[in-house]
Structure 1
Amino acid sequence: MALKELVKSSDLAIDLATAFDASPNPYVLLYPDLRVAGMNQAYLDVTHSRREDILGQPLFGAFDSGPGKEAPENVRQVRTSMEKAISTRRPDHLAVVKFSIPRDLPEGGRVFEDRFWSATHTPVLNKDGEVVMLLQHTTDITELERLRKLSATDSGGAISALDAMIGGGLLARAQHVQEDNRRLATERNRLTDMFMQAPGFIAVLSGPDHRFELFNEAYRRLTDHRELAGKTVAQALPEVVPQGYIDMLDTVFETGEPVEGRGSLLRLQAVPGGPFEDAYVDFIYQPIREDGGKIVGIFVQGHDVTDNVLATQRQKLMIDELNHRVKNTLATVQSIAMQTARSHTDPRAFAESFQARLLSLSHTHDLLTRSHWEGADLRDILRHETEAHETHRISANGPPVPLGPAFALSLGMIFHELATNAAKYGALSAPGGRVLVDWSIADQTDRRLIIEWRETGGPTVAVPERRGFGTRMIERNVRHDLAGEVDLRYLDSGLNARITVPLDRAVP
């Protein structure tokens, strides 16, 4: 008959609590935080404690050394064994541990006596496999220890070889095993700490389905701190399946050949069905073999190099953009030189006009450099191109309009030509002349930028007999570079230029 059936039968109704309390071996039941949950009478007897004094109290409360102080070695041994049993969910054994136990004297008083114990710590699990209790079972092996010591000092042969073997050799071997296990545990903990703190991501995958057995904090950060323990890669990171990473793991497991990736794109989803976030990784998959050479898992190691890859991409883009700008700038300079030469037969006049136009181009370049070539505002462009003139005679009125680099360069050249023309022949050539520059954005659905350049108070102007380079440059820049329209009107009050361009081409 099974034990459960015996317990349930009416004629053998066993009180397990009474049986626990009647055991001659000391038992103590602990919560996972090592507070006392229960104990039997043998434990109270051997520790000279009262149930009401220790129930619910920390087991090691009496040994608390305070901050900065280390607990006694025997306390550390017991605590380490208990914590190991809780973390691994498996029983852990201490072969030998020494404690001083109080003993009452017949004539009165109390002394402390060194006693040696062998302890077993067994985790109690719930149906979900979580540790809810820890049971400590101790056996007093003091007499064996004394027999071992006596056999080591007995020179007259009073102790038999059998007693020496039982009392000495067996116990000594148990102590050696315990010390070896302790050293191994210390080394393992040190390696585990190094593993967890490594700056690169590391994981250990077991079996042909690549199940997560171990992973460090860097790997958790890379995978958005998902639940990985005990899951396969396909279960924990389903979005990487179509990206070929599972296939690479399969190849390593089947062939035993490492697989390495450099700057490999890894696309992850923080939530299922959510947007992808791109990361770039350097990694290597290496097989893990048993002593016989059989592959049992894969060691994953790598670094998140997203910042480096993006920086390299930005650098390449900037170099390509720079090459493009240099070519465009040289083409612009060549065009300015050729058109200026056609308009000026005198070398001195050519040099002055050509230099002025190059300075205009340079002014806008300086403005764009300050914003790392992300763009410039229309008002700033106007101010830079007209600052060589009396700026108090130039009135600017309009909303902020951010412009892209190409648009800014073209508009800068236009403002330069208009200001130069005004200084030579128009409003700025007369003491009382003024220039009014207004701009606005029309039609919010099909947004268009409208710029009005109006000169007043200057000499009377007339339609020129021939179109000079300045006029041709303004018309070419507006119509070709800005895909807009320009209307130049020569009124009695001065030049009036109306420029209309689509704003979607102007925005950075």
Structure 2
Amino acid sequence: MEFFEYFINVPENVVIVSPDFKILAATNKYLKTTMRSREEIIGKVFLKEVYQDPTISFDENPVIKSIRKAIETKRVDYLDVLRYDLERSAQEGGGYEARYWEASHTPVLDEAGNVKFVIQNTNDVTERELAKEARRMSEEKFKFLTDAVPELIHTADPNGACTYVNQRWIDYTGLPLEEFIGHSWQKVIHPEDIHQVLDRQKEDFYSELEFQAELRIRDKEGSYRWHLIRSLPMKDEKGKVIMRVGSANDIHSTKLMVQEVLESNEQMSILSDQVQQAFQKAEDQRQTLERLIMQAPALFAILKGPEHRFELVNPKYQQLIPGRDLVGNTVAEALPEIVEQGFVDLLDNVYKTGVPFIAEEICVELDWQNTGHVEKAYFTTTYQPLIENGQVAGIIAFGYEVSDKVKLREELQSLKKDTSVQ
């Protein structure tokens, strides 16, 4: 009797099963975990008359197979992580509760070497497995979001070693992900430009600072194009740098345009410098995706359902249209001016077909400041279908304003015409 008291109070999930699978004993911890009383389970056939899984037959149950193996081999058999849902009592609302387990089955032999019973020791690893699943889902969402944006996005450790690149990098360079990890990414940077990065990484405070440079990146055809590279440190709640997030924007056409103006007339060199500075300022204002979702400096919103209702809007998006309630309202309700401009039709088409819409320098006419005065603005934007359970459930809207860039190009084109006339 004293031994029985010791056994039932062992702080482990232990149940003892006979060779014919009848439950002989169980610890109090096991009863609490499985939400059963001792009277409900003792003498019952394990996983048949109690704890039965309706989705699988008794003989095919992996737990039963493991117990049989322990009996046949007379050795401990370990069961891999297994999802086995527990049935709730009627008082607890019925139904099943998802649980994940690790288990071992230890045969106990009599003097003749025959199996008297099997001890099952289980560990409830539900919390750990759910955390792993949540992490996996978070990583998948991160990859989806970074692949959806029209930017070359990467992450690195505090010292600059690459840890991830999005699909845009892979498509642009033609190299697999493995070719970027660590410091291998340096091979796609023009040999004359790589020193800009390497010199900065040698500085003591590199991990704490923002990095920005114009570099030439090699594409899959072997050609180099100019890109504006930005990299920002991401810190935890204690201010410690945990990673760097960076992006690369193609500025090749603008770069060549500026160089052409410079070469056309030496007397315009000062003006060209001012134009370059103006362009740089415009690029700074049109902050790209260095931080994800709510920290992103680009315009980001999630529209749910066929009516395109704002479910999430990042601060950058909201700042663009102050004084308007976006979240909870449909696009037509929050921004009625754009209905006649065809944007709702574009959203409808993406939602119905699942085909993304990408536009550069698209014009939007809106009363941006609620002053009663409608003004034009230009955006580069992507409408990407949001897929849930294989179906389009909404749209990810991502973009950035390029009004200054359009105006700058128009000024450059006008300037070029004036120069040709001279």
TM-score, scaled to structure 1: 0.30
Higher helix share: 1
Q: Which has the larger radius of gyration?
A: 1
Q: Larger RCO: Structure 1 or Structure 2 (Cα < 8 Å, ≥ 6 residues apart)?
A: 2
- TM-score normalised by structure 2 residue count: 0.36
